[in-house]
Structure formats: C-alpha cells, structure tokens
Chain A
Amino acid sequence: EPEVTQTPSHQVTQMGQEVILRCVPISNHLYFYWYRQILGQKVEFLVSFYNNEISEKSEIFDDQFSVERPDGSNFTLKIRSTKLEDSAMYFCASSESSVMAFFGQGTRLTVV
C-alpha cells in the first residue's frame, strides 16, 4: 500500500540551528501538507502546497519556515533558526484532492 515516508524519524538540534525535514509523498498525489503536533496537544495545520506553490498557510508558518519541492518526489520543510517552542512532531501529508489527506509517521523534532 502506498504511504507517505518521512525522514529522519527523530532530529535533535541546537536552538538557532537550521533544520530540514524531508518527506516523500504518495506518488500520484498533487497536494502536500505539513502539520505539527506539540506533545499532548492537537494536530495543527502549518502549510499546504499545490502546483509548486503555497496554497494556504497558518499564522504559525512565519518567515522562519519554508517549504520546497526540490525534485519530483521530495517535499521539505525548513526551519531557519529553531526555537525551543518548535519542538514537536512534524507530519507530512499528501492527497489527490483537497480532502482525504494521508499522513506520514512524523519526525520528532527536539530543540535543545
């Protein structure tokens, strides 16, 4: 069964460092998303990406965040200068249409 894959599964980084989280969406999907889940809290929308551009973003997705689809398969989330409060599970998702998103297993980001 096709699935969304994310790497790494766990990333520890120093405050102020840049991190890149990587995702391989399901191959025939056109819509890509990043969500995050702070421990014990709900899943929160960060950004959606369609047709090589951001289609929607939340207020969390500020200038420190960027997304890219550098080739035909990968979808990345970059955090330029990490803060302690960026520590969370980051989930990539993809979908054929704007509904029914399938999620990856997540990258646990720990900022120390």
Chain B
Amino acid sequence: QKEVEQDPGPLSVPEGAIVSLNCTYSNSAFQYFMWYRQYSRKGPELLMYTYSSGNKEDGRFTAQVDKSSKYISLFIRDSQPSDSATYLCAMNTGTYKYIFGTGTRLKVLA
C-alpha cells in the first residue's frame, strides 16, 4: 500500500462549482497535513496547512483532516479558471521529510 494516495484526475468542473480533492494515507504517525497548488513546470505553492484532525478555512479553501479514517480533503468553493492546476497533498510526522501525493489535475472550465 502506498504511503499517500491521491487520484491523479484530471478532474473537470464548470466555473463556480465546489471542488473536492482528497488524499488517503497509511501511516498513522502523520500529524501535519498540507495542500500545495502546482502550475505546470512551476514550484509547489503552499495553500493550506493543518495540524491533526479538524477543519481549517481560508477564503474559498477549506481543508479537512479525519485521522480516524486517514483521509484528508481540500474543498474549493466558487471555483475559477485560474484554479486550474495540479493539487498536491503532503504530510509529515513532525520530522523534516514531507511525503507527497501524486497530485490531482484540476481543470475549471469557463
């Protein structure tokens, strides 16, 4: 079983839709969970950071962590064409090494 699993997509949605992006993981020691956005041939851009279980909201973005299910989600409200990118989840146990998912490609259609 892979340590972090993420559906690669592509996920196509109309502008204005609510987008749900998800990752599952196997290592129960993960405590810190991050979502990054990556445009083609660019570096990952940090969107959200969550510690342990719960929800966190920042503008149109909401991150959820369910440690009992080993499942994390990123919701994007009122999606825009500029949100079209690859979304990467990343997590670590509190050490220095981040484990990334493979990324989900999102296309928001105008």
Binding site for B on A (CB under 8 A): 4, 6, 31, 33, 35, 41-45, 48, 50, 55-56, 58, 89, 91, 98-106, 108
Binding site for A on B (CB under 8 A): 32, 34, 36, 41-46, 49, 51, 88, 90, 92, 94-103
User: Once the chains bind, are B43 and A103 in contact (CB under 8 Å)?
Assistant: yes
User: Once the chains bind, are A42 and B101 in contact (CB under 8 Å)?
Assistant: yes
| Least distance between A57 CB and chain B CB atoms (Å) | 9
With A42-B101, A44-B100, A56-B97: A99-B49 Cβ-Cβ less than 8 Å: yes
**A43-B88, A43-B90, A48-B97 given. 7 additional CB < 8 A pairs?**
A43-B44, A55-B95, A55-B96, A56-B96, A58-B97, A100-B49, A103-B36
With A42-B100, A42-B101, A42-B102: A99-B94 Cβ-Cβ less than 8 Å: yes
User: Once the chains bind, are B101 and A56 in contact (CB under 8 Å)?
Assistant: no
